[in-house]
Amino acid sequence: MSEKSSKPTPRFTVITLGVSDMHASIAFYEALGFARKMRATGEAVAFFDTGGTVIALFPWDQLAGDATLPDQPRPKTFRGSTLAWNCSSVEEVDTVLDFAISCGASPLKPAHRTDYGGYSGYFGDPDNHPWEVVVAPGIEVGDDRRIHLPD
């Protein structure tokens, strides 16, 4: 960038998950209802529209190599990040958790009232990437499937 150019606009566009079994992970995310895009990539990489951002699935070892990180040992423990599925109601949280488990997710934490006045539970995808399913005070989920935060 030249000295006169403006600062780039920050944006979060894609989260790429390293997965052990592309076929099983693609089937799981399709079962959850995420729309797969760019199917021409086959099982080399898979992209899912999430309503504003994209989830990409990529073989674990290849993703590690691309980031120049070792792919072993593969952690079975918390990796320092979670994904979230924000909901509009307590009932929706329960419905989403039950639905995800029916699609093959692992239950990680039952839904419960939180200390901040919300309601939350967790499931793990086929590679145990943790997803929080949550309704939180002050966070509105719009008809556009995006969350809207107050200023």
Under-70 pLDDT residues of the chain: 1-4
Q: Which two tokens stand for residue 112?
A: 């419960």
Does residue 93 contact residue 111 with C-beta atoms inside 8 Å?
yes
> So what's the pLDDT on residue 37?
96
pLDDT (tens digit per residue) in 100-110: 999 999 999 99
Asked if CATH classification 3.30.420.340 holds for the domain at 80-151, the reply, yes or no, is no
Nearest to 125 by CA among 12, 14, 22: 22
> So what's the pLDDT on residue 51?
83
> So what's the pLDDT on residue 36?
97
Tell whether pTM > 0.85: yes
* Fold match between domain 12-68 and domain 80-151: yes
Q: Which CATH number fits domain 12-68: 2.40.10.10, 3.10.180.10, 1.10.275.10, 2.60.40.1250?
A: 3.10.180.10
The label of the residue with tokens 């990489």 reads 45
Count H helices and E strands in the chain, helices first: 3, 10
> So what's the pLDDT on residue 3?
58
State how far the Cα of 2 lies from the Cα of 73, in Å rounded to an integer. 42
State how far the Cα of 123 lies from the Cα of 101, in Å rounded to an integer. 7
The full set of domain ranges for the chain reads: 12-68, 80-151
Q: Mapping DSSP to helix (H, G, I), strand (E, B) and coil, where does residue 59 land?
A: strand
> So what's the pLDDT on residue 83?
95
